[in-house]
Structure 1
Amino acid sequence: MKVASIFALSLIGFCGFPSFASAEEAHTMIAPDDVKWGPAPKVLPAGAEAAVLFGDPTKEGLFALRLKAPAGYAVAPHTHPADEVVTVISGTTQLGMGETADRSAAKALPAGSFFALPPGTAHFVYFDEETVLQITTNGPWGLKYVNPADDPQKTQ
């Protein structure tokens, strides 16, 4: 009888736990044709487009963002405050490591490629063709240029 009472109390306790997500937040599904593109964040050079797929890059918590870079686009050496997890959806990303944008040292990462960088890792990217990346990380998202003069917000 005691075992049954303990079991019943345990079930009542679990029923009292709050839900961790509302019905609206339980899942996210976006088909490729439903991605809503807009201007990329102002911390990036003009010309790229972005689409937030999940979460909010300006707030604490997980988010997923797609970035569409046109041919000829480049982001000068920079770092991020959190892990950056990136998948190349289409096109090719030229990824270079370090505080100097040495294109000869960059590695070509075609569609389907993946890279993950720990916080504070200096890197740069450029694109010879239109490329779409998916960035998954924890917000608030930030980007700090190695050379503050490269920050497009400083020239606007």
Structure 2
Amino acid sequence: MKIASVFAIGCIGFCAIASFASAEDAHTMVTPNDVKWAPAPKVLPAGAEAAVLFGDPTKEGLFALRLKLPSGYAIPPHTHPANEVITVISGTTHLGMGETADRSATKALPAGSFFALPPGMAHFVYFDEETVVQITTNGPWGLKYVNPADDPQKSQ
């Protein structure tokens, strides 16, 4: 099963909740009070929340997705099929590059930080405080773990 298909299945529920913002709209405006949080797709470790602000991450085209990640949360080394463009909205993201999660080799990116990674670049992240990040990129969005055993969908 393709990564995008797996993601699409896990995303259907939270995309429906956040369907107030569509890429076909003439314009989109979202205030902080308008953000509708729901459990993140099952491709991510349990505990994260997600909100689609614009577009549909399961389909081709531009989208904006916010993730709220609790303190102590980590995403093991993984890659994405498309460019990954991230803005740290609040908290701090600890970003590391490569196929091994070495926390001593990460860079702390506080609120206001930005990073962009090309398709297929292995990286990992962890969060030592509640953090909100925004992903703005082209779908369909997907995530492939370097070590397939890290995929939370394998344990379900």
TM-score over 0.5 for the alignment? Answer: yes
1:77 deviates by: 0.1
The letter of the residue matching 1:49 is: E
* Equivalence map 1:79-98=2 (5 Å): 79-98=79-98
Gapped regions of structure 1 (runs ≥ 5): 1-23
Q: Who is 2:128 aligned against?
A: 128
Between the aligned partners of 1:147 and 1:33, the Cα distance in structure 2 is 38
The letter of the residue matching 2:57 is: P
1:96 deviates by: 0.3
CA deviation profile, 1:44-95 (whole Å, cap 9, x unmatched): 0000000000000001111000000000000000000000000000000000
The letter of the residue matching 2:154 is: K
Runs of 4+ in 1 over 2 A off after TM superposition: none
Q: Who is 2:55 aligned against?
A: 55
Q: Who is 2:32 aligned against?
A: 32
**1:76 match: secondary structure:** strand
Q: How many residues align?
A: 134
Q: Who is 1:104 aligned against?
A: 104
**2:43 match: secondary structure:** coil
**1:104 match: secondary structure:** helix
1:143 deviates by: 0.1
1:148 deviates by: 0.1
Q: Who is 2:152 aligned against?
A: 152
The answer as to 2:67 corresponding to 1:67 is: yes
The letter of the residue matching 1:97 is: M
**1:72 match: secondary structure:** coil
The letter of the residue matching 2:66 is: R
Between the aligned partners of 1:137 and 1:153, the Cα distance in structure 2 is 23
* TM-score, structure 1 as length reference: 0.85
Between the aligned partners of 2:61 and 2:154, the Cα distance in structure 1 is 27
* TM-score, structure 2 as length reference: 0.85
The percentage of aligned residue pairs carrying the same residue is 88
The letter of the residue matching 1:68 is: K
Between the aligned partners of 1:106 and 1:40, the Cα distance in structure 2 is 24
Between the aligned partners of 1:150 and 1:118, the Cα distance in structure 2 is 21
**1:45 match: secondary structure:** coil
